[in-house]
Amino acid sequence: MRRVDVIDVGLGNVASVCNSLRKAGVKATVVRSPSEISAEHLILPGVGAFDAYVEKLELSGFFEFLSNTPDNLKVLGICVGMQVLAEKSEEGTRKGLGLVPGEVRKIRTSLPLPHLGWNSIEIHADHPVCESVNPDIGFYYVHGYHFVCESNSLIASSDYGGRVGSIVCKGNVCGVQFHPEKSHDNGIKLFSNFASW
């Protein structure tokens, strides 16, 4: 059976993520320190502010561990868990992990913030995590900041009064701005893809 470890630092929808992974046929194990990691796939679920999440990662030892992510470990960051993969954020003062070159910026739009609800995606590059997802249905979002990166790291985006990065990837590290655990069949498919990557 495919296995995924899910980081729990107290700032994420851990139970919902694990439930969606089980629906995808994936065994999910919650880990609270790097020493507990045993799977080859790791998820960083995140809810809340950039600095608070970075601080939780530092206190738990995950920040140092992830800064030197082993080559055999595939990583998926969700929402703020995606944003901390960047080098820095306009939302805070702490440094991010810098695993995907780029920075997090406030969404500049005339539309209401946060960007809340379902939105379609446009896929810009082939990647295993996107295989057979429905871009027209898209995914469920809740955020006011977004990841701005080089075009070669941008796998998919959404339109919200301008381009909003939806999926970013660099090497064995991926991040999604939306919440797969709230995105029904598309989210379950994405989790299945990640576990098979």
130 is known as an active-site residue? no
Residue 50: CB partners within 8 Å, gap ≥ 6? 80, 83, 84, 89, 91, 92, 94, 96, 104, 145
Q: Catalytic pick from 18, 79, 130, 169? A: 79
Q: How many CA atoms lie within 13 A of 49 on its CB side?
A: 8
181 is known as an active-site residue? yes
149 is known as an active-site residue? no
* Tokens encoding 31: 């880990």
Q: What is the DSSP string of the chain?
A: -EEEEEE-SSSS-HHHHHHHHHHTTEEEEEESSGGG--SSEEEEEE-S-HHHHHHHHHHHTHHHHHHT--TT-EEEEEEHHHHTTSSEETT-SS----SSSEEEEE---SS-SSEEEEE--EE-S--GGGTT--TTT-EEEEESEEEEE-GGGEEEEEESSSEEEEEEEETTEEEESS-GGGSHHHHHHHHHHHHH-
Q: Catalytic pick from 91, 130, 143, 181? A: 181
Query: Catalytic site residues?
Result: 79, 179, 181
